[in-house]
Amino acid sequence: MDFRFRGNDGTGSVTLTACSIKSVLSIVLAVVAEGRCPWTRTFFGDLMPNSMTGFAEEQGVYAGLRMIWRLRSVNHRYLDLSFRRPGHWPGNWHDLEGQASKRLQAHFARGHLDCELSLVAEAETEQSLELNHGLLQDLLRLEGEVQAHSRRVSAVEGERGHLTMGQLLAWPGMIRTHTPQESDAPGWLQAALEILEVAVGQLAVARAAEGRALTAVIQQLLDEFGGLLTQVERLLPDLRNEQKRLLQVRVAELAGTTVDPGELAREVAILLNRVDIAEEVERLHMHRQAFDALLSGAEPAGRRLDFFCQELNREVNTICSKSQNGELTRLGVEMKLIVEKLREQAQNLE
């Protein structure tokens, strides 16, 4: 079953392939995934960030030619669009590229998108061949200039140098395929945009599906990180007792000596600050909660997740530098490994 859409000017229509019913449904799912319907959050619950990688392909037939859009998306710091045009586009390519860019920018916030459009003639389409008169005139003019420069004049009247008829016809681009409606630029533009819109919906669904998978992996890593953080918290009472014991030893060493009370208080405060990790543990809890909030939102969160990964890493480094306990050092190293995995996964999110 084919689906036909009339152009805005009523001059033509684009026919999508039979498999496009899934593509049309994918647009609806993409709208749902992006939260553009007011009822989606209530019905589907919390949303998740999208991935920046995905692939989509959609095709349709217009004026006897099959147009195929292929969209490939990979990671990028910003939204970077790259278009690859077909060998011959009947119309202003810059107009199509401009309008296509606006539609892509409305759906995606980050990622490098490689957008390729191909034109393939339908087997049953009646086609005719035409001569590229402009190219022919240029070749003949250049041949005359070469003859004048080399001062070689053919002895046979009417012969055009060394270029034979076969060579002229075999010259790349000399013979072109002509289609009856090739000059209908507005119709081509509208048809290409309609097919692109379906492909964009497919790509949005693909990126959303991978985003859900990445979010699950990140959530698992966060749970592992939370387990290690809980073990660190359990060590805090013992660590404080150890700090108290070391402090008593230091004070005992000063017995029998004259010590300024103010200087002693300052040294005690410095010692406690060097070994106490309660503030770092509290900030780690705050960063983890911020991570959870970003993962449950619908807005692009990749950059902010990367920032919180840096903050997690900084706090864990501080804990390791303050550690005077073997178990705490081991837990800190494991937490650093998990933070690195978190960052690798977060960099894939939009």
The string of pLDDT tens digits covering residues 243-281 is 777 777 777 776 666 666 676 667 666 766 667 788 899
pLDDT digits (tens, 9 = 90+) for 141-174: 887 777 776 654 444 444 445 667 777 777 787 7
Residue that wins the pLDDT comparison between 77 and 165: 77
pLDDT digits (tens, 9 = 90+) for 302-327: 888 999 999 999 999 999 888 888 89
Integer Cα distance of 171 and 297 in angstroms:
58
Q: Long-range CB contacts (< 8 A, 24+ apart) of 271-277?
A: 271/243, 271/246, 271/247, 272/243, 272/247, 274/322, 275/239, 275/243, 275/246, 275/322, 275/324, 276/240, 276/243, 276/322, 277/232, 277/236, 277/239, 277/318, 277/319, 277/322, 277/323, 277/328
Tokens 């005139």 label which residue? 137
Does the pLDDT value for residue 113 go beyond 80? yes
**What pLDDT is stored for residue 89 in this prediction?**
82
* Spatial contact of 96 and 116, defined as CB atoms under 8 Å apart: no
Taking the CA of residue 48 as centre, how many other CA atoms within 13 Å lie in the half-sphere pointing to its CB?
21
Burial of residue 342, with CB atoms counted within 10 A of its CB: 0-12 exposed, 13-18 middle, 19 or more buried: buried
- Token duo for residue 241: 């007792």
- Token duo for residue 314: 């900084």
Sign of the alpha-carbon torsion through 330, 336, 339, 344: negative
Integer Cα distance of 350 and 111 in angstroms:
7
- The gap from C-alpha 131 to its chain's centroid, in whole angstroms, comes to 43
pLDDT digits (tens, 9 = 90+) for 215-225: 999 999 999 99
Report the residue count for the chain.
Answer: 350
* Domain extent listing, the chain: 3-127+177-211, 129-176, 213-346
With b meaning 16 or more CB within 10 Å and e meaning fewer, what string describes 270-301? eeeeebebeebbeebeebbebbeebbeebebb
Average pLDDT over residues 321-335: 89
* Spatial contact of 13 and 6, defined as CB atoms under 8 Å apart: yes
pLDDT digits (tens, 9 = 90+) for 23-38: 444 444 444 444 443 3
Does the pLDDT value for residue 180 go beyond 70? no
Vertex 273 angle, CA 271 and 278, to 5°: 135
Tell if the pTM clears 0.75, that is, is over it: no
Integer Cα distance of 126 and 218 in angstroms:
55
Integer Cα distance of 65 and 182 in angstroms:
10
**What pLDDT is stored for residue 278 in this prediction?**
86
C-alpha closest to that of 315 among 292, 297, 293, 331: 331
